[in-house]
Structure 1
Amino acid sequence: MALSPVQGRLLDAAVSLFATQGFDATSVQEIVARAAVTKGAMYHYFRSKDDLLYEIYHRLISEQLAHLDGILAAGGVPGDVIRALIVDLVETTTARLAEAAVFAREMHKLPTEPMAALRAQRRRYHEAFRDLVARGQADGTFAAVASADTVTLVVFGVVNQLPQWYQPGGPTSPRQLADEIADFVLAGLSPSGVAEG
């Protein structure tokens, strides 16, 4: 669902302030002042700072899950599907680096219920990815050099670290980076690439 202009300004303000001074040190007054809206306008959309923090990551993971469903529904050979998923994860994460960085640093501040909801969304993506790798390993498309769980942890470990080191506007575009990561993962999964002991 598209955000209203007010919601967009509030989220942008929250991301900027949480990134520079932290969640605890940021007041609701600072957020509404940065967004140039009233407190009443904020409380029309968000009950608290917690809701803003939740929505920062919820928007990203919801987009990624929608893309996951579309990619899986389109079908294709397992290698192409894995590539499409990795490319999408890298591109959507690099498009929202500030949001991803804020959430990684501040997620522990969320109350139990919204945190559990976000973890469930993330777990659904991880399980779908893992199952795709496991099916490819079971039918011989992919090498079983590492378990499907380990492959999944490696891929999401790289994606989750992007806010720590990726520099937008640098020599490597998001798509180039996505292709390199996908090439690396698929080379490791290739049965012909398994070294003989």
Structure 2
Amino acid sequence: MVARGAGAAVGSRADEQRQRILSAAVGVFSRRGYRATSMNDVAAEVGLSKPAIYHYWRTKQDLLVQIYESVLDESLDRARVIVAAAPSPLEGFRGLIVDRVAYTCEHQDLLKICFEEESELPPELAEPILERRRAYEAVVHDAVQAHLAGTGLTLPMAPKAFVNTCLGAANWVYKWYDPAGALTPRELGEQVAAVLLPALG
């Protein structure tokens, strides 16, 4: 039992250090851009030597991939919970939009990387990330389709195009949201949802 506990502690410390490095990379990538950032820059940000960084992360690209995977996995988990808890598909869609706006406002540095650095991923690494994105979009699309099927309503555009339009509006707030402004992330999300929902009747 002592050995197992000690091993768990070592593993926990390693995981904590990996997370510290990843958080530092998010800050540097967001400020300087992925291509202009070196592993030396990440090491300096977190206060470690470059060899120490490589003990936890093999390449700068590994850090970038992990950022994408973490954001998309968390987004998908949140979306599924929201839809499952919603009393109706329409409320599920509303909750998804509110959450997407709030999450984007609260993680502007992460979303800046995700939206602006995708071209840095080689195709073999980009495809699994795109699959995660498609899975998230499918949750939103399914909520819209369920609402339309249940009400007999139609949209003036294809449901997929409508979903992409709504998510585009929600995601773009990373560019302009001001944390020092009058609205909290969730308040802005509620306003965005209030503008988009009338299209669904």
TM-score (norm 2): 0.85
- Change beyond 3 A, Cα 1:180–1:141: farther
Structure 2 Cα separation of the partners of residues 64 and 103 of structure 1: 12
Contact kept, 8 Å, 1:133 with 1:142, in 2: the verdict is: no
Unaligned 5+ residue runs, structure 1?
191-197
Q: Following TM superposition, by how much is the alpha carbon of 1:92 offset from its aligned partner in structure 2, in angstroms?
A: 1.5
Residues 153-192 of structure 1: CA deviation (Å, up to 9, x unaligned): 11111122122111112112111111011111111211xx
Matched with 1:61 is: 72
* Matching residue's letter, 1:9: R
Taking the TM superposition and a 5 Å limit, the aligned residue runs for 1:23-62 are: 23-62=34-73
Give the count of matched residue pairs: 189
Structure 2 Cα separation of the partners of residues 40 and 141 of structure 1: 61
Matched with 1:151 is: 162
Matched with 1:78 is: 89
Structure 2 Cα separation of the partners of residues 106 and 92 of structure 1: 19
SS in 2 for 1:118: helix
More helix by share: 2
Taking the TM superposition and a 5 Å limit, the aligned residue runs for 1:166-185 are: 166-185=177-196
Is 1:139 equivalent to 2:153 in the alignment? no
Structure 2 Cα separation of the partners of residues 151 and 114 of structure 1: 28
Contact kept, 8 Å, 2:25 with 2:42, in 1: the verdict is: yes
Unaligned 5+ residue runs, structure 2?
1-11
Contact kept, 8 Å, 1:57 with 1:100, in 2: the verdict is: no
Contact kept, 8 Å, 2:26 with 2:109, in 1: the verdict is: yes
Q: Following TM superposition, by how much is the alpha carbon of 1:137 offset from its aligned partner in structure 2, in angstroms?
A: 1.4
Q: Following TM superposition, by how much is the alpha carbon of 1:142 offset from its aligned partner in structure 2, in angstroms?
A: 4.7
Two-structure CA RMSD over aligned residues (Å): 2.0
TM-score (norm 1): 0.86
Residues 42-71 of structure 1: CA deviation (Å, up to 9, x unaligned): 233322111111122222111111112212
* Matching residue's letter, 2:104: T
SS in 2 for 1:145: coil
